[in-house]
Amino acid sequence: MRKVPFLDIGRMHQSIRDDLDAAYRRVTDSGWFIMGPELEAFEAEFAAYSGAKHCIGVGNGLEALHLLLRAYDIGPGDEVIVPSNTFIATWLAVSQCGAIPVPVEPCSDTYNLDPALLAAAITTRTRAIMPVHLYGQPADMDPINELAKKHGLKVIEDAAQSQGARYKGRCAGALADAAATSFYPGKNLGALGDGGAVLTSDDSVAARVRQLRNYGSTVKYQHDVAGFNTRLDELQAAFLRVKLPLLDAGNARRREIAALYTAGLAQADVVLPVVGADIESVWHLYVIRSKQRDALKAHLERAGVSTVIHYPTPPHLQACYPEYKDFSLPIAASQAGELLSLPMSPLLDQGDIDHVIQSVLSFR
Ligand SMILES: *Cc1c(COP(=O)(O)O)cnc(C)c1O
C-alpha cells in the first residue's frame, strides 16, 4: 500500500545536501558561531525577499513575537488582540510580557481574524493587534490596519506560517508595523533546528529588537536594558541561506498541490479551504473540515495517509490558561473538533496526491 507522509523534511534536504554540507563547513572552518557574517547576510537576503527594511534573526518564532511586544513597551496592564484559533505561541508571547491576550474569533471560511469583530474587542487598554496568517494565508490586513490606525494601535503580524505569501501583491511580513516569523523545521522556510526573525521597516523598533535579542546590549559588556539571549546562530543562518532561494519554487508546488486537492475533492463530503480575494496563500497547511473528523482521520490512517490536527485544543481551553476556560469562543472551540490537515509538502507526487484524494473520497 502506498504511504503518504504528512511532511517528509529529511527527504527535502536530499537534493541540496552538497550545499548544506558546504554551508556547514564554511561555518565550522570560520570558528565564528554567533552573530557573524552568515547572520548578517541572511538578514539582508530575507529582508530583501520580504520587502521589509530590516530583518533581525532571533532564536525562534515565539521569541520574535515576544521581543516585538517588548520593543513596543507592551507589558502589565496592556491588552493585545489575538486570534482565538491560533497556535499557542501567539498567546504566550503576550502573556510573557505580562500583558493580556484578548481573543477574537476567526472568519469561518478563511480561519483568519474576522475584522468585523475587532472593534468590539478594543478597550482603553488595547495596545496592539496580532493577526496570524494562519495555514499560509494572509489575514485581511487592510481593515485591520485601518482600525488600528484609528485607535492608535500597533499591528504585529504573526507570519510564522506564511513566508512568501502575498496580500494585494505585497509579501507577508511587510503588511503592518512589524512581523514575526519562525524557521522551525516544518515551516515553509525551515532551518535545521530552531530559528526565527523579526521583520520591520521601522528603524527604532529594529534597533530595539537587535538590542533585546543580545542581552540588551549594543556595545559589548554595556547593558542599557535588561535584555534576553535569543539569537539566530551562524549555522542556522547559513542553512537558511541555502534554502531561501528555493522557497518560491516550494511554495509554487504547494499551490499546485492545493489546486489538485481542491479540484479532486469537490464532491467529497468535507468543507474545503477558501482563499480570499487578492490573496496568495503559500499553503503551509491544507486544512479540511468534517463533522466526522476523527473517523475520517482513522480511515485515512488505515489507507496509509498521515494527517495532523491543527489544533486539537484552542489556547483558551488549555490548562495553562485556566482564566479563559469559560470564555465563549464557539468558532474556535467547534472548529478544533472538525479540522484535519492533509499531507502537504513540495515533494508530494501525482501518485501521492491521487491517493490522498481517493482515500478521502472513499470515506463513508
Ligand atoms: C510555529 C509558530 C509560531 C512559533 O514559532 P517557533 O519557532 O516554534 O517558536 C508562532 N506562531 C505560529 C502561528 C506558528 O505556527
Is the shortest distance between the CB of 86 and ligand 1 below 6 Å? yes
Instruction: For Cα atoms 262, 266, 268, give the angle at the middle one, nearest 5 degrees.
Output: 115
- Predicted TM-score of the model (pTM): 0.98
CATH number assigned to the domain covering 9-103+110-245: 3.40.640.10
The contacts found for 192-195 with CB under 8 angstroms, 24 or more apart, are 192/13, 192/20, 192/235, 192/236, 192/239, 193/235, 193/236, 194/59, 194/60, 194/236, 195/57, 195/58, 195/59, 195/60, 195/232, 195/236, 195/237, 195/240
Helix, strand or coil for residue 243? helix
Q: What is the DSSP string of 23-84?
A: HHHHHHHHT--BSSHHHHHHHHHHHHHHT-SEEEEES-HHHHHHHHHHHTT--TT-EEEEET
Helix, strand or coil for residue 310? coil
CATH 3.90.1150.10 location in the chain: 247-361
Q: Are 180 and 155 in contact (CB under 8 A)?
A: no
Is the shortest distance between the CB of 89 and ligand 1 below 6 Å? yes
Q: How far is it, in rounded angstroms, from Cα 294 to Cα 309?
A: 10
- Residue to mutate (ligand 1; options 161, 192, 285; most atoms within 8 A of CB): 161
Please tell me the predicted confidence (pLDDT) of residue 364.
Answer: 85
Q: Tell me the residue length of the chain.
A: 364
Q: How far is it, in rounded angstroms, from Cα 55 to Cα 198?
A: 6
Q: Are 86 and 62 in contact (CB under 8 A)?
A: no
Q: How far is it, in rounded angstroms, from Cα 85 to Cα 63?
A: 20
Please tell me the predicted confidence (pLDDT) of residue 29.
Answer: 98
Cis link prior to 221 (omega < 30° from 0)? no
CA of 91 to the centre of ligand 1 (A): 11
Is the shortest distance between the CB of 60 and ligand 1 below 6 Å? yes
CA of 60 to the centre of ligand 1 (A): 8
CA of 34 to the centre of ligand 1 (A): 22
- Residue 196 has φ and ψ, to the nearest 5°, of -165, 175
In this structure, the residue with its CA closest to atom 10 of ligand 1 is: 89
Q: How far is it, in rounded angstroms, from Cα 90 to Cα 68?
A: 12
Instruction: Please tell us whether the domain made up of 247-361 is placed in CATH 3.90.1150.10.
Output: yes
54 contacts: CB under 8 Å, gap ≥ 6 = 43, 47, 198, 199, 200, 201, 202, 203, 206
CA of 364 to the centre of ligand 1 (A): 35
Query: Which cell numbers in the block locate residue 227?
Result: 535584555
Q: Are 242 and 19 in contact (CB under 8 A)?
A: yes
Please tell me the predicted confidence (pLDDT) of residue 197.
Answer: 99
The Cβ of residue 216 has, within 10 Å, a number of other Cβ atoms equal to 17
CATH 3.40.640.10 location in the chain: 9-103+110-245
Is the shortest distance between the CB of 172 and ligand 1 below 6 Å? no
Q: What is the DSSP letter of 324?
A: G
Q: Can you give the pLDDT of all 364 residues of the chain as single tens digits?
A: 899 999 999 999 999 999 999 999 999 999 999 999 999 999 999 999 999 999 999 999 999 999 999 999 999 999 999 999 999 999 999 999 999 999 999 999 999 999 999 999 999 999 999 999 999 999 999 999 999 999 999 999 999 999 999 999 999 999 999 999 999 999 999 999 999 999 999 999 999 999 999 999 999 999 999 999 999 999 999 999 999 999 999 999 999 999 999 999 999 999 999 999 999 999 999 999 999 999 999 999 999 999 999 999 999 999 999 999 999 999 999 999 999 999 999 999 999 999 999 999 999 8
Query: Which cell numbers in the block locate residue 354?
Result: 491521487
